[in-house]
């Protein structure tokens, strides 16, 4: 069945948030980075502005700028309504209130949209669906990132996660996944089982982050070869 854009809620973060979530220091920021499920985040745009090297992969990059823009406008009101209803589940520190949240997210997504067509031509936004094989050789990227995608969508299942992360670890020297909770900010068996699987052949590290937006989502998973 063809993938439909109305099954996705596009909601994008910015470079500063990526830097804090993934604990990217200046050395990391100068490396070759892959962003999996980057969606409408403006990490790629902002990194390119500062001569960084980021390639973003996502299912939504099969759609046009106009289609993604329309979908962002469609979900904006619903997402903000949900945030208003659940605002006690969030830590209002880096982002101080709902108004600031909407401004930060919309500004990130506008910057993404302004860069999308150029970035597609330059091969920085690549339509790709995990866990399919990526057209890159072993260790092509230094770091692979997944923000608010892997480990969160538990309905995708254990096999999807193992296959996706195995493929990411084929083309990346290390991968970093944030956060380590599901959509309701709960720890899950899936996360424990995925960690046990990779601990057999890789170095696995769990790092507490200063960044915490949804209460409890302050842990970063790093898997290295
Ligand atoms: C909640 S968004 C996160 C966007 C961005 N990483 C951020 O933190 O701002 C999750 C993204 O994962 C993408 N996605 C979902 N399933 C995918 C798959 N199998 N392969 C690639 N991307 C996928 C969605 O299209 C969406 O853009």
Which atom of ligand 1 is the closest one to the Cα of 18? Answer: 8
**Separation of CA 105 and ligand 1 centre (Å):** 15
**Separation of CA 93 and ligand 1 centre (Å):** 25
196-223 per-position pLDDT tens digit: 999 999 999 999 998 999 898 999 999 9
Is any ligand 1 atom within 6 A of the Cβ of residue 17? no
54-109 per-position pLDDT tens digit: 999 999 999 999 999 999 999 999 999 999 999 999 999 889 999 999 999 999 99
Q: What predicted TM-score, i.e. pTM, was given to this entire model?
A: 0.96
The domain locations on the chain are 5-9+31-224
Residue 179, pLDDT score: 96
List the one residue out of 176, 215, 203, 183 whose CA is nearest residue 22. Answer: 176
Q: How confident is the model at residue 185 (pLDDT cuts 50, 70, 90)?
A: confident
Candidate from 78-87, 105-114, 163-172 with smallest mean pLDDT = 78-87
Q: How confident is the model at residue 1 (pLDDT cuts 50, 70, 90)?
A: low
Residue 86, pLDDT score: 92
Flag whether pLDDT at 40 surpasses 80: yes
CATH dotted code for 5-9+31-224: 3.40.50.150
């Amino acid at each position: 069945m063809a993938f439909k854009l109305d099954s996705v809620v596009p909601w994008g973060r910015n470079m500063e948030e990526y830097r804090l979530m993934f604990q990217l220091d200046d050395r990391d920021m100068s490396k070759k980075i892959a962003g999996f499920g980057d969606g409408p985040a403006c990490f790629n745009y902002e990194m390119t502005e500062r001569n960084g090297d980021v390639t973003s992969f996502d299912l939504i990059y099969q759609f046009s700028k106009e289609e993604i823009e329309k979908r962002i406008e469609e979900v904006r009101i619903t997402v903000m309504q949900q945030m208003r209803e659940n605002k006690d589940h969030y830590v209002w520190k880096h982002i101080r209130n709902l108004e600031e949240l909407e401004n930060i997210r919309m500004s990130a997504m506008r910057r993404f949209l302004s860069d999308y067509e150029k970035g597609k031509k330059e091969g920085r936004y690549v339509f790709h669906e995990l866990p399919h094989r990526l057209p890159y050789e072993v260790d092509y990227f230094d770091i692979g990132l997944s923000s608010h995608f892997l480990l969160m969508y538990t309905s995708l299942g254990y096999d999807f996660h193992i296959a996706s992360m195995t493929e990411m670890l084929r083309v990346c020297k290390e991968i970093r996944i944030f956060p380590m909770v599901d959509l309701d900010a709960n720890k899950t068996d899936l996360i424990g089982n995925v960690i046990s699987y990779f601990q057999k052949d890789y170095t696995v590290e769990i790092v507490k982050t200063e960044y915490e937006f949804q209460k409890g989502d302050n842990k970063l998973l790093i898997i290295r070869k």
